């Protein structure tokens, strides 16, 4: 049962009186911006459950903001905040992470919180995250996994701000598309540029988009790193970890925001290559990476040439997105064969091996002896060898074929009142748990770490609750 509209066990006066809620939130002073709960009259907020959720959100965001270095964050901290990590390795106090879910993704949380609440301090943190990404943008327009800093800001690499400085031109200047590092930075800069109308953010976003154009191979795909190496798997056309498909998604967003036809043309070129790269029978899916000649290729020692169910699912998704953008049905033509392959290749209903052997379609794995094997025994740890990879893509394609393009888009982009109520009930339970699990100092701790991933997930849930609370109660709010 959905929580009654405006019911709350905390009174407004009680929250202020015990110091849990800043008076500025409710008095209309200049710390608040437009929209969100800041636009809701005090008499309505006083009896609403949203206030305790907003207090929890503010406490968590205020705490996480104290961990910044030059406006950015590494990937994780020890629970006592004395140690720091990038994706895997320890890092010093002068290093921040670009790779999501670190700096750009955390910045998005602060931007979302600002829009949900109207609190300008969240916008200031969001802008500082965008500022350090701008400063850490490489001279070619992309980003590496990290930004190395000194007391003055980014150092050690050849950054865009240093372009033309011949003494720095020989410094490291390789950008990566792996794990959405460059794509995530571009996406965030586009979002904050759209909100703030700041020309500097627009310029950095456009330079990032132009980097994606320059890094694209004539075939249509992208290497994992650019400029691409002349040997090794980093030069291959890469679909692993959504490197190429995320580049397509970012370019589509750039096309929507800037109406630059070059971005859509690049996406279509990539989609055309994906159609050509579909593997023949008995495995009508896609590989994780391809040689420049178009053959499935080996990457790291535990990534053999194979048909990959996870990549196949992702390719189905992006081909659907390109079809929805262009209306060109040829982008859907590879999908039925890929769906049939996914159907027949399940280990059990809804579960696939990651890799299937070229030629035989047998599930394959790699053990700790670096041997390709056919059973899940003594496998290289820390890698996703099986999972529910194909479920979402198969569901989306079936919905598209059942509903047609227009109805599919309507259903995808909105919720029915019943769906809103169901989601509201789910969020109510989750926000209660998040309030209870937030440490006294404002941090969520999981597995002995304070991590960007945990913060992003939990803070986004609180933001979603606030947004949905305003939406479902809109009829009771003043008009105008």
Of residues 180, 203, 210, the one with CA closest to residue 104: 180
Q: Is the pLDDT of residue 407 over 50?
A: yes
Task: Quote the pLDDT of residue 178.
Answer: 97
Q: What is the end-to-end Cα distance of the chain in Å, rounded?
A: 30
Question: Is residue 35 within 8 Å of residue 113, measured between CB atoms?
Answer: no
The reply to whether 387 falls in a domain is yes
Q: What is the DSSP letter of 39?
A: G
- Is the confidence at residue 107, as pLDDT, over 60? yes
Say how many residues make up the chain.
Answer: 480
The arithmetic mean of pLDDT across residues 35-44, rounded, is 76
Beta strands in 182-334 (DSSP E): 225-226, 237-238, 289-290, 306-308
- Supply 383's token pair: 């890698």
Give residue-wise pLDDT tens across range 13-31: 333 333 333 333 333 333 3
Cβ neighbour number for residue 160 with a 10 Å cutoff: 22
Tell whether 392 is covered by a domain: yes
From CA 418, how far away is CA 369, in angstroms rounded? 53
**pLDDT for 479:** 64
Whether residue 237 has pLDDT greater than 80: yes
* Range in 11-20, 66-75, 235-244, 326-335 with the lowest mean pLDDT: 11-20
How many C-beta neighbours within 10 Å does residue 200 have? 13
pLDDT at 19: 34
82 falls within a domain: no
**In total, how many domains does the chain have?**
1
In-domain check, residue 421: no
Task: Return the structure tokens found at 380.
Answer: 């290289």
Tens digit of each residue's pLDDT (9 = 90 or more) over 291-329: 999 999 999 999 999 999 999 999 999 999 999 999 999
Nearest CA-CA partner of 182 in 204, 156, 167? 204
On whether residue 350 sits in a domain, the answer given is yes
Q: Which long-range contacts (CB under 8 A, 24 or more apart) does 427-430 make?
A: 427/461, 427/464, 427/465, 427/468, 428/2, 428/3, 428/49, 428/465, 430/461, 430/465
Long-range contacts of 420-428 (CB under 8 A, 24+ apart): 420/468, 420/471, 420/472, 421/2, 421/472, 423/468, 424/2, 424/3, 424/465, 424/468, 424/469, 424/472, 425/1, 425/2, 425/3, 427/461, 427/464, 427/465, 427/468, 428/2, 428/3, 428/49, 428/465
DSSP letter for 284, please: -
Of 138, 184, 139, 147, the C-alpha closest to 69 is 147
Spatial contact of 324 and 409, defined as CB atoms under 8 Å apart? yes
Range of the domain at 321: 261-413
CB-CB contact of 288 with 303 (8 Å)? yes
* pLDDT value of position 8: 34
The domain that holds 328 is classified in CATH as 1.50.10.20
- Residue burial 105-124, b: 16+ Cβ < 10 Å; e: rest: bbbbbbbbbbbbbbbebbbe
Percent of the chain past pLDDT 90, that is, above it, reads: 83
Q: pLDDT tens digits for 141-161? A: 999 999 999 988 999 999 999
How many Å apart are CA 477 and CA 6, to the nearest integer? 11
Q: Given a cut of 90, is residue 210 above it in pLDDT?
A: yes
User: Is residue 335 included in any domain, yes or no?
Assistant: yes
Residue 320: is it exposed, middle or buried by C-beta count within 10 angstroms (0-12/13-18/19+)? Answer: buried
**Would you say 296 and 306 are in contact if contact means Cβ atoms under 8 Å apart?**
yes
* Mean predicted lDDT score pLDDT of the chain: 91
Residue 402 lies in a domain: yes
Q: What is the pTM of this model?
A: 0.91
The answer to whether residue 425 scores a pLDDT higher than 80 is yes
Mean per-residue pLDDT, 255-261: 98
Of the candidates 55, 48, 62, 63, the residue with the CA atom closest to the CA atom of residue 15: 55
Distance separating alpha carbons of residues 480 and 477, to the nearest angstrom = 9
- Specify the pLDDT at position 229: 85
Taking residue 6's Cβ as centre, other Cβ atoms within 10 Å add up to 16
Structural domain includes residue 26:
no
Q: Which residues contact 179 (CB under 8 A, 6 or more apart)?
A: 87, 99, 100, 145, 241
Cβ pair 344, 333 in contact under 8 A: no
Question: Angle CA(75)–CA(76)–CA(77) in degrees, nearest 5?
Answer: 145
Tens digit of each residue's pLDDT (9 = 90 or more) over 338-381: 999 999 999 999 999 999 999 999 999 999 999 999 999 999 99
């Amino acid at each position: 049962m959905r929580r009654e509209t405006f019911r709350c066990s905390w009174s407004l006066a009680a929250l202020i009186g015990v110091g849990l809620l800043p008076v500025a939130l409710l008095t209309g002073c200049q710390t608040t911006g437009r929209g969100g709960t800041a636009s809701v009259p005090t008499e309505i907020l006083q009896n609403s459950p949203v206030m305790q959720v907003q207090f929890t959100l503010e406490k968590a965001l205020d705490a996480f903001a104290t961990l910044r270095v030059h406006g950015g964050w590494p990937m994780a901290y020890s629970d006592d905040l004395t140690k720091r990590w990038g994706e895997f390795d320890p890092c010093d106090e002068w290093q921040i992470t670009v790779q999501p879910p670190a700096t750009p993704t955390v910045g998005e949380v602060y931007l979302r919180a600002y829009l949900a609440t109207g609190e300008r301090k969240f916008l200031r943190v969001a802008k500082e995250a965008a500022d350090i990404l701008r400063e850490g943008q490489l001279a070619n327009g992309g980003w590496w996994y990290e930004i190395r800093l000194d007391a003055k800001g980014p150092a050690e690499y050849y950054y865009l701000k240093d372009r033309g400085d011949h003494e720095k031109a020989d410094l490291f200047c390789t950008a990566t598309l792996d794990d959405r590092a460059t794509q995530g930075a571009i996406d965030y800069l586009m979002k904050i540029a759209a909100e703030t109308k700041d020309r500097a953010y627009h310029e950095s976003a456009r330079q990032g988009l132009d980097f994606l154009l320059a890094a694209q191979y004539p075939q249509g795909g992208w290497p994992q790193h650019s400029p691409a190496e002349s040997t090794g798997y980093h030069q291959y056309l890469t679909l692993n970890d959504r490197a190429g498909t995320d580049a397509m998604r970012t370019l589509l967003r750039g096309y929507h925001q800037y109406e630059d036809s070059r971005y859509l043309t690049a996406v279509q070129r990539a989609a055309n290559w994906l159609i050509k790269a579909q593997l023949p029978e008995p495995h009508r899916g896609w590989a994780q990476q391809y040689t420049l000649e178009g053959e499935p290729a080996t990457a790291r020692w535990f990534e053999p040439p194979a048909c990959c169910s996870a990549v196949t699912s992702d390719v189905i998704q992006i081909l659907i997105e390109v079809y929805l953008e262009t209306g060109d049905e040829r982008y859907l033509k590879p999908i039925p064969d890929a769906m049939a392959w996914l159907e027949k290749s399940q280990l059990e209903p809804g579960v696939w091996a990651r890799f299937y052997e070229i030629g035989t379609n047998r599930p394959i794995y790699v053990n700790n002896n670096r041997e390709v094997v056919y059973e899940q025994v003594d496998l290289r740890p820390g890698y996703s060898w099986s999972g529910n990879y194909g479920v979402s893509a198969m569901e989306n394609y079936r919905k598209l074929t059942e509903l047609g393009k227009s109805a599919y888009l309507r259903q995808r982009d909105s919720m029915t009142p019943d769906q809103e109520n169901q989601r509201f009930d789910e969020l109510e339970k989750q926000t209660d748990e998040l309030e209870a699990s937030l440490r006294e100092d404002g941090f969520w701790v999981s597995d002995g770490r304070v991590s960007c991933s945990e913060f992003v997930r939990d803070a986004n849930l609180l933001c979603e609750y606030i947004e949905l609370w305003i939406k479902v109660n809109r009829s009771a709010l003043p008009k105008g």
